[in-house]
Structure 1
């Protein structure tokens, strides 16, 4: 035996004595204390009364169970050890767990394949749910009986709670004694650095917490309340649940904790929180006794229509299921439960139990006295018995948790733990080398009388077998592959409510039959639990300041953006060729828009252009009819007619800008515009030069000046000025002409189709050349405005060029700032305005004299000073 074992055994024998010495020594003095030490004998350090179930064998395994629930009163007079009295109040389910272990051991002993020739025994202790007693019992088991020299136990099945298991596992850790738990589910126990000797046939809480998270995400429950027990079971499960829902837009509306010591007040507070919260789905991680108190408080507040999610600690509680309060406040509970499997023959085994066949079984005797209110022996082991039993009592017709084998959950975990221990022992005791001269000296055989816990621990970690039910079991560290049942509490209306299997959890995979679920509403309609209703299509979620992401407002999508799904976190921008519809739910093709002849603006501009063309034609006819009169002849009739033709072309070119742009129209409109206005301005410039030359030639010595500005030179000048613009247009339209292009940068459903200027330089040269001719004509006309004539055409040209320049100077900013087709309208307006300015300023006074004042249409009047 190792030194560590001797230390624990020695401590187990001396610790109670030393404690008693200390307590008595304070009252009687040191001398009496020494006397007490001399009279105290060493005995088994087990639970008070050494209640247990024993069966000897070649190899004996231990078991720790919480059979009783009433704790003994603590005596504070310091005359005896704390918790020195036994617990009372036998529980039916833990008793079934105990006999599952006994049944499994007996089944293994009858097997010819598992541990053949070796009898497996058991020592089972009741620790009453107290970590102190569990520690004492575990040390007693692994240390052996110091009085009867019983051999130490190399492996223990237990404990039931995670807190007790942590304590016992830490104590047994230095001794390397394997501890296989059947219900300890805390994820912390998976840490091999802290609990290297721990194993379990119960899945870690990680899996059920993540299963609840998957359910919340699957059913779109974004606003969930949580009620947890205030210990590691509740807090660790809640932490895992929060980690699993992170990033899935699921939030916790509240978290309430319950403590056993103040359960009534805590349950009342949690019930008030549930009543005030908008959360309709409540996750509960606590014991069934706490849940019952919570339901009672909810019933007092008349809180119904909440969908409860049950952890495995209370999802299979028959007491809760049949309680009338539960059917009122918690119908349709959705729970995760330890998977249920059958153990062939176990039901018959339970019902065949009888104290007469097991005279030393105090556990069974106490249950018998509780169930039948009689004592099967000469003395009673509990306060239940009031008379001796007749011997005809049987469990065949007894209906309680002990005899109910229809749902074997924890019971099967106990059964599985015993088989894991048996297979580890089988592997350890199997001798792979029978030749004593084998060179492999490390592969020695172990014997049932000399099993070392550390060797058994290594074999437990490597077990891999198939149970009699056909299930494969192996440990992954401390854990087995997680398997749960998904249960639903359903009321069929034809008797009591019942548990209905609606799915299962296999590792992290969830398998659910949604159509079989009966929710809290009593129908198949999934309950809704949200802080804010999901945003409809066409809107996006906007988180409220200072609140969780599950609480939000729905904001309509901006123009050009859509959301076509419910609950969209953002709006998607449409492609440039598309735009959002009025509902902001779909992108539709953008409509081409251009200045057409069918719309009001196009019709107006066309009417103005045609009117200008008509007026120009009328002026042309008047001048043609009166071409022999002094008024027409004095104003250079040839240039006047050419000017009228150019103004006609200006009015006509404005019509080219109206209509759907095409390749030819884009090229022609700019060329026609540039050439027509250059022709027009060239005529005005030449007319101004002629006026100046005529008056200059009247001076002495300047008679030859007019020879240089004769009709040929005038036509040549107009042709030259116009050819320069023609050359500019040819080069521009050959290298980089304007092309039709949709103006997609402008927002809106309608996109303007316009002639895009590919070369800004070419367009600038065209406008610049027109502006240069216009400015020089304006300057020349301004210089000739005061020449001494009754009818000085230079004044008219000055006013016309003034209007012309003003219009085109204003055109540039107006054109740049105008959106879409209105830019085209601005250009047409500038063409028409400048054309009308030239027409009326130059020809209106002349037509007035020709038609209305013919007496002034004489050479004498025109030459007058």
Structure 2
């Protein structure tokens, strides 16, 4: 029994036994394959018998057939078709000798390459040809092959289905292996296009060289074994793939998932135990399965005594029961002599093999459907009413003497339903609706191979149901249910983007973290997106979160510490002022210009308090006045010190004989100095606030992760001019005090002013680089610290020594001590 027998269906007016021309080369195939081919032959018998018994299909008409075994060889396929077409036992091109019985159509061939040749010849005569297994997309060209039809879908749909399967499991890195004939090359080309369109990549593409005895298997398997692709699509007929699978077993190829096309997904020849280690877990598309009621009982009625196909039946019998008939030569040609003798009475029902397994018919179902197509087309022809025909002058064809092109019309338009409810019809290309089963090869409990349907690919279904699959019912090569992974590069998680590698396929890439301030919230993102200005990526860079708002808050430790320090510090000058008021009449208080000291102490208290304007939420009104207030208060403070210093110098110079400077020692002079100094700072601040006033801003440039609420000084020049002016006043006070530090006076405070101004200047000179190098709230904290430190420097250097004498050395604060010290100084 050969693969892909060509069957000729023709219509008989009266039933008569037709001799069958037999070309047997069953030793070319395995016993299982031979039994499957014999089952196909019996399915044709069953279909014809079923049609002849049904008076509603072709009443008073009997359908007959003639079968030829092609042995999977093109020359036998072509010879059988030409013999049927010629009408003689020998074929004569372009010659037809019919015996009065119209020839309806040819069913075959199984192999796409053979069908192309047959269709090219039969199409010339518009003679119908229906294939039950040829799926090559080439045959969908109805201009080249106008009389070709088939009951299996075109490989165009199969390629889309396989690509859909790969995409469903997210296999983006796959290897392709295909036969080097029209069937394999066109199918794999369509598959490659669909794979690339879906975003996957091809790791390698190898051809099965059908002209080589080993099919180039060692080279192909070496590529499969060494490739990083875990998924390999094998596209070809089962016979061409046998050497490849054998070589995979030989080289112990493991860890690979094979994807099968319909040509071998359920092939029995690849179900041997020796292939189980490699093929277990294989998944692919198979021709849709179906059931034929009554077929199993019909198959079990076969016996060697039947006249129809007797030679084939005997071969089948010997293979099925492992026996031989006693004759000069047994039918299978086996040289084994120690097998039992066939009696012909063996019970087929006792066998459980591929012949009588009708649980999931595929190729048998398609050949059965092909016979029904011819019968229903003849039925439509037979029911044509006179004057309503589809041909010229609305004539009907005569079913007893019709032309092939007339039946071709009815086959094109045939439409009927099978017992399963499936509707059979052809599109304009002669293709049926594309429906596939998704099957998974699994080991059965008894150790054999079974094909488990795990889903379907139905192009006729609604859009949401075209591709359906139950992943949980799939068993992979490792015996696990978890889907294997086959990628060139692992998926890039959210927070990164795919950077293509130079010179490599698009599926090979590096995962690069998103740049600062950008996110990707999807897996395998090609780009990153920027967060809005007021948001920042989370640590994983997968989403944008509101930016934290930063300012020097009262609630944080730094702000609390500075606020408490400022408040407590502001009380110190008040306490000192109270001491001065209490001891106003003592020499040490009188000698240090009591009124200026009080004014200085009040200004120092305000200096401490003005630092509070820099702490807390920066309101717009705070931003507007805080630097100006700081500048004015410190100007008052330094002006008082400068006035005290100048007054010390004037007081000493006024004691010299013949001088006119005594009038400059009066209080109004010190107040005039303070007023002038304050006026200049006031003019600067008013100009600043009028032209470029400070304002509240949200700074996102200094620290992109934060929104820094800060007061923009408006004019940096004005700010630094204000500080420079304070520094100028302090420098003048320092110089004058330094020069007057040795003047003879019982309580000369010039040396205290010298130290206080030195400390004051040191603090603010240090503040400049510290301020420029700090950011955000720490810039504000640095200014607050400078305010507190410089204020404390003045308090400590100028007033603490005096308070110590007043409180703890009262003897030094007496008139007698002052007079005595004055005499000693003279």
TM-score in terms of structure 2 length: 0.75
Higher mean C-alpha deviation, range 694-703 or range 490-499: 694-703
- CA gap 1:65/1:598 in 2 versus in 1, 3 angstroms: farther
State the shift of 1:343 in Å: 1.9
Matched ranges for 1:125-144 at <5 A: 125-142=68-85, 144=87
Q: Could you tell me which of 244, 269, 276 is aligned with 2:219?
A: 269
Q: Is the 8 A contact 2:160 2:191 kept in 1?
A: yes
1:657 matched to 2:633: no
Superposition deviation, residue 416 in structure 1: 1.3
SS in 2 for 1:485: strand
Equivalent of residue 506 in structure 1, options 455, 458, 464: 458
Aligned equivalent of 1:42: none
With over 3 angstroms needed to count, the CA separation of the structure-2 counterparts of 1:198 and 1:837, relative to structure 1, is farther
Which residue in the other structure is 1:94 paired with?
Answer: 37
Cα offset for 1:160? 0.9
- Cα deviation per residue 1:768-801 (whole Å; 9 max; x = unaligned)? 5564565478679979997999389999989977
CA distance in 2, matches of 1:70, 1:390: 21
Moved more, 210-219 or 681-690: 681-690
* Counterpart check, 1:338 vs 2:287: yes
Residue in 1 that maps onto 2:91: none
The answer to whether the 8 Å contact 2:650/2:662 transfers is no
Aligned pair partner of 2:637 in 680, 686, 694: 680
* Mapping for residues 434-513 of structure 1, pairs under 5 Å: 434=387, 442-448=393-399, 451-476=402-427, 477-494=429-446, 496-507=448-459, 509-513=466-470
Q: How many residues align?
A: 789
- Pick one of 173, 178, 199 that aligns with 2:149: 199
Which of 790, 799, 802 matches 2:743? Answer: 790
Q: Deviations over 1:207-263 (max 9, x none)?
A: 444444444444454554444333343344444444444476755554444334435
List per-residue Cα deviations over 1:110-147 (Å, max 9, x = no partner). Answer: 33333444444444434433334434444454455547
Which residue of the partner structure matches residue 519 of structure 1? Answer: 476
Pair 1:105 & 2:58 matched:
no
Could you say which residue in structure 1 is the equivalent of 2:12?
A: 57
| Aligned match of 1:19 | none
Say whether 1:417 aligns with 2:370. Answer: yes
**Deviations for 1:512-549, whole angstroms, at most 9, x for unmatched residues?**
34443333334545445555666778877776666556
d(CA) in 2 for partners of 1:65, 1:670: 114
CA contact (8 A) 1:202 1:480 kept: yes
Q: Among residues 707, 714, 719, which one is paired with 1:760 in the alignment?
A: 714
**Residue 288 in 1 paired to residue 238 in 2?**
yes
Do 1:53 and 1:361's aligned partners in 2 also have CA atoms closer than 8 Å?
Answer: no
In structure 2, distance between residues paired with 1:841 and 1:417: 115
After superposition, residues 188-587 of structure 1 pair within 5 angstroms as 188-246=138-196, 251-264=201-214, 266-277=216-227, 279-304=229-254, 306-321=256-271, 323-353=272-302, 357-358=306-307, 373-374=324-325, 401-434=354-387, 442-448=393-399, 451-476=402-427, 477-494=429-446, 496-507=448-459, 509-529=466-486
- Give the 5 Å matches for 1:147-166: 148-150=97-99, 153=103, 155-166=105-116
Contact 2:173 2:486 in 1 (8 A): yes
Aligned to 1:22: none
Comparing 453-462 and 720-729, the one that deviates more: 720-729
Q: Tell me, what secondary structure is at the counterpart of 2:394?
A: coil
What is the distance in 1 between the residues matched to 2:627 and 2:377? 97
Q: Give the deviation of 1:650 after TM superposition.
A: 1.2
- 1:79 matched residue in structure 2: none
Given that residues 639 and 674 in structure 2 are in contact (C-alpha distance below 8 angstroms), is that contact kept between their aligned partners in structure 1? no
For residues 838-863 of structure 1, what are the alpha-carbon distances to aligned partners after superposition, in whole Å with 9 as ceiling and x for unaligned? Answer: 5578779999999999999899999x
Q: Deviations for 1:286-315, whole angstroms, at most 9, x for unmatched residues?
A: 333444434433333444454443333233
1:44: which partner in 2? none
Contact between 2:753 and 2:798, CA under 8 Å: does it hold in 1? yes
CA shift at 1:183, angstroms? 0.7
Distance 1:799 1:249, change over 3 A: farther
For residues 147 and 753 of structure 1, what CA distance do their matches in structure 2 show?
A: 97
Q: Which residue of 1 aligns with 2:774?
A: 818
Residues 1:169 and 2:119 aligned together: yes
Task: Go from structure 1 to structure 2 and tell me whether the alpha carbon gap of 1:528 and 1:720 turns closer, same or farther (over 3 Å shift).
Answer: closer
Name the SS for the 1:284 alignment partner: strand
Contact 1:304 1:330 in 2 (8 A): no
Cα separation, partners in 2 of 1:398 and 1:705, compared to 1, 3 Å: closer
Q: Does 2:134 align with 1:184? A: yes
1:78 alignment partner in structure 2: none
SS of 2:366's equivalent? Answer: helix
Aligned counterparts of 1:467 and 1:630: Cα–Cα separation in 2: 128
- How far apart are 1:388 and its partner, in Å? 12
- For 1:787 and 1:360, the matched residues in 2 are separated by 139
Deviations 1:370-422 (A, max 9, x none): 7774499x999986799999876786666654454443211111121222233
User: Is 1:830 the counterpart of 2:786 in the alignment?
Assistant: yes
Normalization by structure 1: what TM-score? 0.72
What corresponds to 1:9 in structure 2? none
2:92 matched to which residue of 1?
none
What is the deviation of 1:201?
A: 0.8
Q: Secondary structure at the match of 1:499?
A: strand
Distance 1:856 1:742, change over 3 A: farther
1:803-814 superposed matches below 5 A:
811=767, 814=770
Separation (CA, whole Å) in 2 of partners of 1:524 and 1:52: 43
Once the two structures are overlaid, the 10-residue window that deviates more, 482-491 or 241-250, is 241-250
RMSD between superposed Cα atoms in Å:
5.8
